[in-house]
Amino acid sequence: MKRTLITAGVLLLSAMTTFANNTPGNNEDRKSRKEARKEARKADRNTVSDFTKGQFYEDFPAATNIRYEKTNYFDEVAFTLNGQRERAYYDIHNQLVGTTERKAFTDIPENAQREIEKKYKDYKIDSVLEYDDNEVNDTDMTMFDTAFDGADNYFVVLRKSSELLIVKVDMAGNVSFFKSMK
């Protein structure tokens, strides 16, 4: 008799628990919790990792005006250092790939200036970026949605109407076509 009462109590308790977990309100809570977890994972994919942030602070301890951004290719950090706006690029291993900084056309080697002015005389200089590669990291860099072998280079953006042309200038002043954009 005692055993029958205990068995009946266990079955009753089990049935109540099952019923309680299947109530409509509980299913809604479960769905909302599941959706919240899904959104949190999605937000994590769009957020620069804490490891990258820590490495950035090690690499650039004097940086100010820091802004983080996750892109298709890298964790990017825009910042000011010694009064200059720069951008640092970190790979999936949270290691610095390189940095970019806006420059003046007169900052590129003189032979490259002459060649660009001669070869692209119908274009106006739109902007100049200097890419400084982290030689310790073998990860290739991607700029303007185009990958290139990581090396120090200038990128000169030339404009004619709505057409953009990007040329790459190495540190010796050699000019090469990089990309055309419309």
More confident of the two residues 65 and 147 = 65
| pLDDT at position 32 | 66
Task: Name the domain count of the chain.
Answer: 2
Q: What tens digit of pLDDT does each residue of 62-71 get?
A: 999 999 999 9
| pLDDT at position 5 | 44
Nearest to 128 by CA among 141, 116, 142, 145: 116
Query: Tokens 């994972």 appear where?
Result: 41
| pLDDT at position 31 | 67
Residues 77 and 10 placed together within one structural domain of the fold: no
Residue 119, pLDDT > 50, answer: yes
Residues 167 and 92 placed together within one structural domain of the fold: yes
More confident of the two residues 27 and 115 = 115
Residues 64 and 19 placed together within one structural domain of the fold: no
Residues 34 and 115 placed together within one structural domain of the fold: no
Residues 78 and 41 placed together within one structural domain of the fold: no
Residues 151 and 84 placed together within one structural domain of the fold: yes
Q: How buried is 50 (Cβ within 10 angstroms: 0-12 exposed, 13-18 middle, 19+ buried)?
A: exposed
More confident of the two residues 2 and 116 = 116
Q: What tens digit of pLDDT does each residue of 89-107 get?
A: 999 999 999 999 999 999 9
CATH of the domain at 158: 3.10.450.360
Q: What is the domain range of residue 30?
A: 2-45
Residues 136 and 68 placed together within one structural domain of the fold: yes
Residues 116 and 161 placed together within one structural domain of the fold: yes
What is the arithmetic mean of pLDDT over 5-19?
A: 51
- By the 8 A CB rule, do 158 and 120 touch? yes
Residues 96 and 168 placed together within one structural domain of the fold: yes
What is the arithmetic mean of pLDDT over 156-168?
A: 95
Three-class SS state of 32: helix
Three-class SS state of 43: helix
First to last CA, the chain: 87
Residues 41 and 67 placed together within one structural domain of the fold: no
Residues 24 and 105 placed together within one structural domain of the fold: no
Residues 7 and 55 placed together within one structural domain of the fold: no
Tokens of 110: 């003189």
